Amino acid sequence: MNSEMPAELRKKLESQGYHILGQRGAFKACQWQKKSLLSGDTCYKQRFYGIESHRCLQMTPVVDKCSQNCEFCWRVTPDDVKVTWDQTSVANEDVMDPVSLLDSTLMANLRSLGGYNPQSGARVLEHKYREAREPKHVAISLSGEPTLYPFLNGLIDEIDRRNMTSFLVTNGFQPDIIAEMSPPTQLYVTLAAPNEEIQKRLCRPGIKGAWDSLVKTQDVLQSLSGRTVNRLTMVQGRNMEGIRGYADLISRGEPDFIEVKGYMFLGSSRERLSAQNAPSHQEICAFSEKLSALTGYYVQDEQIESRVILLSKSKQVKKLS
Ligand code: SF4
């Protein structure tokens, strides 16, 4: 199958504000970076972990590649643009090398900051504008599955070499790669189902043995040197039952943190779900209290606007800056 990204997909992504980097890398300025520059409001990761939203690069090395097709995902999927493409295989020649990818991401950030220049009248503090031009954090989470990127170690090492922190979000379907991977500052493994049946229905894996792979990844988590997080994406009416299933998965991995986050009715997911599938913050609080009781993790913090609760294994949460 042709490894080119379909023109329909590239057109749709660019219309949504994505900067396509090389064949399939992508950067998109995060709404929280903009909010932080304009009003000082920041994302929950700044609140929970101390990263700075206005100095964050939201990017992905493989915008069109993922080994699952979650109903709640804001990513553009084949159904959304009525074309099919190979979702899971990525050859070395199909992607940018890590140094060029990071350089291009930094350039895309500078381009997207053009409208925030106080010299041109933007109501942004001069020092914050200058800081935003020198990012300190990379969120490898925008879209797609980063463990499909053949140079992932190189990317994480290059981010580290430039004294930046990195958060990487994975669906956990590649335990062998995760076990050998250069540790990002913080590794997120998404848990979106308490059992295989719901995983099949809600996440629609494009590979065989997805559940077993996820369980194996949870077993690998304990042995990793970097900080680890299980993020539970809660979709009302889809995966908020069977809480013991989540507790069992979490107990296998013993991550440093758990984030219980409500699904947000955003992006392309609006074609697949309804606003009723977005749980309220109260429902997220209630679920988190039960999970705390089952796992022994401490409920630490919350950000109501993002409908997210932080739980931690230890009583203290060490900030990153
Ligand atoms: S950490 Fe995530 S939410 Fe926060 S600014 Fe970066 S991309 Fe946005």
**DSSP code of 191?**
E
Domain membership of residue 317 (yes or no) is: no
User: Rounded to whole angstroms, how far apart are CA atoms 20 and 22?
Assistant: 6
Which ligand 1 atom is at minimum distance from the Cα of 142?
A: 7
CA of 197 to the centre of ligand 1 (A): 31
**Which residue's alpha carbon is nearest to atom 7 within ligand 1?**
58
**CA nearest neighbour of 23 among 169, 151, 109:** 151
pLDDT of residue 268: 84
* Closest atom of ligand 1 relative to the 56 alpha carbon: 6
| Test site for ligand 1: of 18, 30, 105, most ligand atoms within 8 A of the Cβ | 30
Among 56, 136, 169, the mutation site with the greatest number of ligand 1 atoms within 8 A of its Cβ is 56
What is the CATH number for 264? 3.20.20.70
Identify whether 2 is part of a domain.
no
For CA atoms 119, 123, 128, 133, the dihedral sign is negative
Domain membership flag for residue 167: yes
Helix 98-112 to helix 152-161 angle (10° resolution) is 60
Residue-level pLDDT at 317: 93
> For residue 58, how far is its CA from the centre of ligand 1 (angstroms)?
6
How far is the centre of ligand 1, averaged over its atoms, from the C-alpha of 150 (Å)? 24
Please give the residue range of the domain that contains residue 98.
7-312
Count how many domains the chain has. Answer: 1
Which two tokens mark 206?
Answer: 């494009």
Q: Which residue ranges have their beta carbon within 6 Å of ligand 1? A: 30, 32-33, 43, 45, 51, 53, 56, 58, 139
Domain assignment present for residue 157? The answer is yes
Measuring CA to CA, which residue among 3, 6, 14, 26 is closest to residue 82? Answer: 6
pLDDT at 1: 52
Structural domain contains residue 1: no
β-pair partners for 36: none
CA 59 to centroid of ligand 1, rounded, Å: 10
How confident is the prediction along the chain (321 residues), in pLDDT tens digits per residue? Answer: 557 899 999 999 999 999 999 999 999 999 999 999 999 999 999 999 999 999 999 999 999 999 999 999 988 887 788 888 899 999 999 999 999 999 999 999 999 999 999 999 999 999 999 999 999 999 999 999 999 999 999 999 999 999 999 999 999 999 999 999 999 999 999 999 999 999 999 999 999 999 999 999 999 999 999 999 999 999 999 999 999 999 999 999 999 999 999 999 988 899 899 999 999 999 999 999 999 999 999 999 999 999 999 999 999 999 997
Residue 36 CA, closest ligand 1 atom number: 5
